[in-house]
Amino acid sequence: MSAITDYTNRETCVLFGDAAGVVLLEPTTAPEEGGLLDFILGMDGAGKETLYMLGGGSLHPASHETIDKRWHYVYQEGKSVFKVAVKAMADVSLEILERNGFSGKDVNLFIPHQANKRIIDSCIQRLGLTPEQVVINIERYGNTTAATIPVGLVEAYDEHRLKRGDLLVMSAFGAGYTWGSLLMRWSI
């Protein structure tokens, strides 16, 4: 994120951190013992004006002009994004649980996108979770965007917070607007 963060914009530069994460999924020979149970993805293009990067892609490829105009930095209208993110992440997390016959009491670990502590707190409240059921690391790394969930998963594993058979919910929200949730049974 540091490559697309405008350090003259205090509304965004204090939010983001750099990280990378990888998760390897393998087929299971015993689906009843674990693995990916369900996922939900959603999007709404209404967010194109409140969370985006103007430069890049095929519409405005990098050029001397787009760089001079500072179009290759992330732009975020914080209050608007917050309102949508709180609702989308909480709704999709609750939906995936209910759709599969679970509630917050059944969740062993919730690994949310680490965009904002207040968004995470809203999800915790809406799902009826305890702090022990949630991975939070935003205070150490900031919002590492697509890496937040893989980093959280690795930390939970390293801290021995995962055991075979645990029910996990992962939920994220991002640019555009896009959001999603994944339900899995830990099988390692």
pLDDT digits (tens, 9 = 90+) for 25-79: 888 877 778 899 999 999 998 888 888 889 988 999 999 999 999 899 988 888 8
Under 8 Å between Cβ of 132 and 74: no
State how far the Cα of 49 lies from the Cα of 77, in Å rounded to an integer: 8
Host domain of residue 92: 36-46+79-183
Instruction: Tell me, yes or no, whether 63 lies in a domain.
Output: no
Q: Return the structure tokens found at 82.
A: 């917050």
pLDDT(131) > 80: yes
Mean pLDDT of 112-135: 95
State how far the Cα of 39 lies from the Cα of 171, in Å rounded to an integer: 10
Q: Return the CATH number at 149.
A: 3.40.47.10
| Enclosing H/E stretch for 80 | helix 78-99
What's the full length of the chain, in residues?
A: 188
pLDDT digits (tens, 9 = 90+) for 102-114: 999 999 999 999 9
State how far the Cα of 157 lies from the Cα of 179, in Å rounded to an integer: 24
Give the number of domains in the chain.
1
pLDDT at 32: 77
Instruction: Tell me, yes or no, whether 71 lies in a domain.
Output: no
Q: How many CB atoms lie within 10 A of CB 141?
A: 17
pLDDT at 16: 80
Which is nearest to 47 in space by CA: 2, 88, 15?
88
pTM for this model (two decimals) = 0.89
Instruction: Tell me, yes or no, whether 129 lies in a domain.
Output: yes
Under 8 Å between Cβ of 120 and 136: yes
